[in-house]
Amino acid sequence: MYIEPTLSACIVLYNSGPKAALTVRSFQDSDVPLELYVVDNSPGDSTMYRLRWQCPGLKYIAQPKNIGYGRANNLVLPYLTSKYHVICNPDVTFSSDLLGKMVQYMELNRDCAILTPRVFFPDGKEQFLPKRTPSVRYLLGGRLEGLPGPFKAWRSEYTLRDLNLEQPTSVFFAPGCFMMIRTSVLRQVNGFDPRYFLYHEDSDLSRKVLRVGNIVYHPQFFITHDWTRSSAHNLVNAGHHLASTVKYFAKWGLEW
């Protein structure tokens, strides 16, 4: 008898390299059975071929070109039969018991639509990703926090860094590098807005989800994210970031 899976997950690749195999292995070593989808946005790259050889059981969806992060994640929606779905970057790793603990929390807290964990760099430093709704000053703070002036304080406010959160807390933002969302909610909000090619698709999704449920940051759950902040070092990605910022504020209104 077929039993619908409690959990599914999607990883989107774009020239991801060997890090992606570590991410896939984290899911395969998990204490929760799941359906794992991999969408490949990088035709010609060999990463997916290696993954299919090293990690059998993947559900593989190839794209003829890079269609963007949100649009690629949306491709799996018609196939999902799970209760909960994980959206994950190909540079994330986590312990084998994390997903089971997160599912248990979601089961006990029915008002939680998205559960987002604490995030660390591989060297153990915390990343302090945003937890408030984006605004002009918050984004400036992220870009200019190393300069004199109010920028560092704005960044701290954006990320709730100064609150020293120790208990599960309702927040306004779930970073797209890793989140667990109720599959029914993901369908209800029609997934990611495909107009965002890269960046702010998670900000937009968070705004839509808050209309139907809570986003909870849980500091006792944590992942490792080998993050490089590519938009700060790559002109093409910086252009994508600017374009998505304009689209975000055009849709939701400009906030200082």
- What pLDDT, on the 0 to 100 scale, is given for residue 58? 83
Domain range 7-252, CATH architecture: Alpha-Beta Complex (3.90)
CA-based angle 26:225:172, to the nearest 5? Answer: 110
- What pLDDT, on the 0 to 100 scale, is given for residue 1? 43
- What pLDDT, on the 0 to 100 scale, is given for residue 231? 47
Separation between Cα atoms, residue 80 and residue 164, nearest integer Å: 36
Separation between Cα atoms, residue 228 and residue 127, nearest integer Å: 11
Please list, in sequence order, all residues whose beta carbon lies within 8 angstroms of the beta carbon of residue 33, skipping any fewer than 6 positions away. Answer: 5, 6, 7
Q: What is the pLDDT along the chain (256 residues), one digit of tens a residue?
A: 445 679 999 999 998 878 888 999 999 999 899 999 999 998 877 777 777 777 767 888 989 999 999 999 999 999 999 999 999 999 999 999 999 999 999 999 999 999 999 999 999 999 989 888 888 888 887 778 777 778 888 888 888 887 878 899 999 999 999 999 999 999 999 999 999 888 899 999 999 999 999 999 999 999 999 977 554 456 777 888 888 888 888 888 888 8
Domain locations in the chain? 7-252
Rg, the chain, Cα only:
18
One-letter amino acid for residue 163 of the chain: L
